[in-house]
Amino acid sequence: MESSRADAPPRAGVAAGPGGRGWVLAGALVLLVSAAPLVRYYLVRQPPEIWQVDLEVYRDGSVSVLLGRDVYAWLTGSPQWLPFTYPPFATLLGMPLALVPFRVAGWAWTGLQLWLLWVCTGVAFRPFLDRFGRRAPLLQGVVAGLLVWSLPVAEGIRFGQVNAVIVTLCLVDVARRTPRTWPRGVLVGVATAVKLTPGVFWVHWAVSRRWRPLAVSVATTAAVTGLTLLLLPAASATFWTDALLDPGRLGPNAGTSNQSLRGVLLRLWPGGSSVAGPGPGFTPVWVAVALVVGVLGFAAARGLERRGERVAVVAVVGMLAVLLSPVSWVHHVHWGIVVVGALLGDGRRPARVVAAVVALGMLLCRLPWWGVTVLADGDLPRWFGRLLQNGYAVFALLAVAALWWLLVRRPDDAQAPPVGSPVPQEAAGAVR
């Protein structure tokens, strides 16, 4: 039974009135000023051939639909030659990108990513922000302005990635207090129809016996996928029977950018980085490791669900999406900003503050690329170089363990909500 405080209105004056709007503008300005050097470097100074290369993939997928060409056979221009790898429903959502010049699309997409970072910060850090009353939006801008420099978020801006959209949809859907506007599970269903990895929330809901959001989410994905099948039958058939089963379309799986468990094992496995591949013994080992991590991770998420720690649920399930997917690039660790907020809580417990600072520090560092440098130089032990090279996979594992330990195994009972009581503010209140 949900706590009555879940339906309590937002604190008076947090974002209302002229004073509240002034703090919102101040916070937004802090975020924009902090992001300006990144935006200048990646959108003004980047040469055209490497400008917003992932956004070009999304846009070209939609352009292919409009021109009647094969969505999954088309490649972007030189030097990337990248294929469209997402479900066909993503081409329908990307139609606005196809209707404007590429440069306009790139700037608009960057603006969208910054706004979504603001939203995620408001939801994930709400217990901490609430301590500052009317000044909370200013602190929201400061926190978001720091998070924009984390490597996964910065890489998302660099490439024009979709992770900000996926993380926001899932966070707003799962972590809002009450499903007033739409049933919980709808936005996760939409996110799963755009990119399959949010389907890990289905496993979490099944393990936690949350049948209603599971049913709503699966039905939503099925509905939009079925609609896409009617509109784009050829593209749908190609994706579900061919493109989906070819991880090679995503690039070199053993490269440092792939921070999934599979990517880590490929780099460690004899011959895993060769053209011939790691050999027949690799897949059983990968599946076994993934099963162990999955069982322990979903058990942790279930414990967090029972305590009403829904932001932490999103953080853990997001980390599992990174670890269990065959391919998880560095920018897929965008879920890490939710991890920092979940670890911090309201900022009153020293152990949680320390954990949040360590997590933020890891996200701000270019750990995988430092590892490549250490391995190339040979001045430091090779195991240390490998540890850094796989730094974001290590981050994901440590994040799951830390959230379980701090919020389930050693919770602060004075701050813990009743079982089943969802604590975070819903999206409308969290966007200051």
141-184 residue pLDDT tens: 999 999 999 999 999 999 999 999 999 999 999 998 766 678 99
User: Residues for the chain: how many in total?
Assistant: 432
Q: How confident is the model at residue 203 (pLDDT cuts 50, 70, 90)?
A: very high
Would the pLDDT of 300 be above 50? Answer: yes
Return d(Cα 33, Cα 11) in angstroms, integer.
28
Q: What is the Rg, in whole angstroms, of the alpha carbon atoms belonging to the chain?
A: 21
Look at 2 and 355; give whichever has higher pLDDT.
355
Range in 59-63, 253-257, 318-322 with the lowest mean pLDDT: 253-257
158 near 149, Cβ under 8 Å?
no
340-385 residue pLDDT tens: 999 999 999 999 999 999 999 999 999 999 999 999 998 999 999 9
Q: How confident is the model at residue 19 (pLDDT cuts 50, 70, 90)?
A: low
Backbone dihedral region of 270: left (phi > 0), alpha (psi from -120 to 50 degrees) or beta?
A: beta
Q: How confident is the model at residue 432 (pLDDT cuts 50, 70, 90)?
A: very low
Would the pLDDT of 307 be above 60? Answer: yes
Amino acid at 263: G
Would the pLDDT of 9 be above 60? Answer: no
Amino acid at 265: L
CA dihedral of 66, 159, 343, 196, whole degrees rounded to 10: 30
Mean pLDDT for the stretch of residues 185-199: 96
H helices then E strands: how many in the chain?
A: 22, 0
214 near 205, Cβ under 8 Å?
yes
Tokens found for residue 301: 């998420």
**Percent of the chain with pLDDT strictly greater than 90:** 78
Q: What is the pTM assigned to this prediction?
A: 0.89
Measured CA distances, 129 to 40, 56, 136, 423 (Å): 29, 36, 5, 14
54-76 residue pLDDT tens: 999 999 999 999 999 999 999 98
What contacts 174, CB < 8 A, 6 or more positions away? 184, 188, 201, 310, 313, 314
Return d(Cα 397, Cα 91) in angstroms, integer.
33
- pLDDT, residue 7, reads 35
**Closest Cα to residue 185, out of 205, 165, 158?**
205
Would the pLDDT of 35 be above 70? Answer: yes
Mean pLDDT for the stretch of residues 219-227: 97
Q: Give the HSE-up count for residue 42: Cα atoms under 13 Å, Cβ half-sphere.
A: 24
- pLDDT, residue 250, reads 59
**Closest Cα to residue 316, out of 423, 405, 404, 413?**
404
The end-to-end CA distance of the chain, in Å, is 29
- pLDDT, residue 26, reads 96
Q: How confident is the model at residue 110 (pLDDT cuts 50, 70, 90)?
A: very high
Would the pLDDT of 237 be above 80? Answer: yes
Range in 210-214, 313-317, 414-418 with the lowest mean pLDDT: 414-418
- pLDDT, residue 80, reads 81
- pLDDT, residue 12, reads 34
Return d(Cα 227, Cα 16) in angstroms, integer.
40
Return d(Cα 35, Cα 25) in angstroms, integer.
15
418 upstream amide cis, omega within 30 of 0: no
Look at 253 and 118; give whichever has higher pLDDT.
118
DSSP code, position 183: -
61 near 71, Cβ under 8 Å?
yes
